[in-house]
Amino acid sequence: MTEEKGTVVSTRRSNYPVRSVCFSATWWLRFQHINQPLATISQKIAYLGIKEHQPPIPHLSTTKNLQTARLAIADFNDALETDNTIWMGIRKKSIRTHIQQFLYKSMHSTHRIGPQWRHIPNYEDRKFCSTCNIPKSMDHILIYCEATPCNTIWSLAKETWPHAPHLWRDINLGTILGCGCLTFPNQDIEQHHDQNRHRRIPKGATRLLQILISEAAHLIWVIRCERVIQDHTHQESETHTRWFHAINTRLTNDKIIATLIKQDKRAFKLVRDTWEPVLRKTMDLPNDWIFNREVLVGRRLW
């Protein structure tokens, strides 16, 4: 029996019929982990192993979305991210799990929208937005569609943003898909320090930005699905309520994690850095606000 990378290996010592498979040394090491002697590996297992060892070919739409996210992040951060760091950004803790799943599917274009309907008999017209009469796409649904309250929700997100207005950039599909990688360039942070003399801006502001963009995009998607699937029309007041509910759910989760689960100064500081500037816009905060469940965004207590 010979074993060499990229060579044909014969399994003549086995009790099975003589077979020859082509595989690499790395692939062979993977089989050693499951204690499978080389002589007993069937051709089916070997073929599956070879297929598994080969990296998957990225789908064209995934590559396109990754590039869209990369350019948007570069415009924001002044740095080019790799595919790997963009995928890791989607898994940041600042983004809730179900929104991570939404962003993951959006990056792979697996939602059944627009062109995915064109080959389904009797449903071809679903390729187009019934209100705007243009082909549906994720960026149309999340940013431009007149049928969903995109403008209202993005305006609410911008109003919630408590830091300098120039730090809130225009939103596009790349910004949404790559929101986990968004950080502020150094000059903006320094400028913002000078303007507001707030020593805890950068990390909290970055986290807040990721929260606001991810929550707004997902809320628009949820409202869109309710409109299309359940035929529910959302009033302006309901949209406002849903937005503040989503943001306050994040705030409450952060408070619970910091005060009941982690209970350390680092967790307290992260929550304060993220939410204090938002809350100070509408109320005078007591020092122990983090323990008060009634301290919420958009509510006046004192």
Q: Which residues bind Zn ion (CB under 5 A)?
A: 129, 131-132, 145, 147
Shorter beta-carbon distance to Zn ion: residue 136 or 218: 136
Do 253 and 245 form a contact (C-beta atoms < 8 A)? Answer: no
Shorter beta-carbon distance to Zn ion: residue 147 or 189: 147
Shorter beta-carbon distance to Zn ion: residue 223 or 290: 223
Query: Distance between CA atoms of 298 and 281, rounded to whole angstroms?
Result: 9
* Minimum distance, C-beta of residue 157 to Zn ion, in the bound complex (Å): 19
Shorter beta-carbon distance to Zn ion: residue 129 or 212: 129
**HEC readout, 254-270:** HHHHHHHHHCCHHHHHH
Query: Distance between CA atoms of 97 and 180, rounded to whole angstroms?
Result: 12
* Minimum distance, C-beta of residue 215 to Zn ion, in the bound complex (Å): 21
* Minimum distance, C-beta of residue 29 to Zn ion, in the bound complex (Å): 52
Shorter beta-carbon distance to Zn ion: residue 139 or 276: 139
* Minimum distance, C-beta of residue 48 to Zn ion, in the bound complex (Å): 44
Nearest partner of 159 among 216, 201, 204, judged by Cα: 216
* Minimum distance, C-beta of residue 152 to Zn ion, in the bound complex (Å): 14
Shorter beta-carbon distance to Zn ion: residue 84 or 133: 133
* Minimum distance, C-beta of residue 135 to Zn ion, in the bound complex (Å): 10
* Minimum distance, C-beta of residue 141 to Zn ion, in the bound complex (Å): 7
Distance of CA 29 to the CA centre of its chain: 34
Nearest partner of 24 among 13, 8, 43, judged by Cα: 8
Shorter beta-carbon distance to Zn ion: residue 38 or 147: 147
Task: Tokens for 197, please give them.
Answer: 């003399």
* Minimum distance, C-beta of residue 137 to Zn ion, in the bound complex (Å): 10
Do 192 and 167 form a contact (C-beta atoms < 8 A)? Answer: yes
Shorter beta-carbon distance to Zn ion: residue 94 or 148: 148
Q: Report the chain's terminal Cα–Cα distance, integer Å.
A: 81
Query: Distance between CA atoms of 3 and 5, rounded to whole angstroms?
Result: 7
CA distances from 232 to 187, 229, 288 (A): 45, 8, 41
CA distances from 138 to 110, 114, 124, 156, 224 (A): 10, 8, 18, 20, 11
Angle between helices 150-160 and 201-229 (to 10 degrees): 160
Rg (CA), the chain: 25
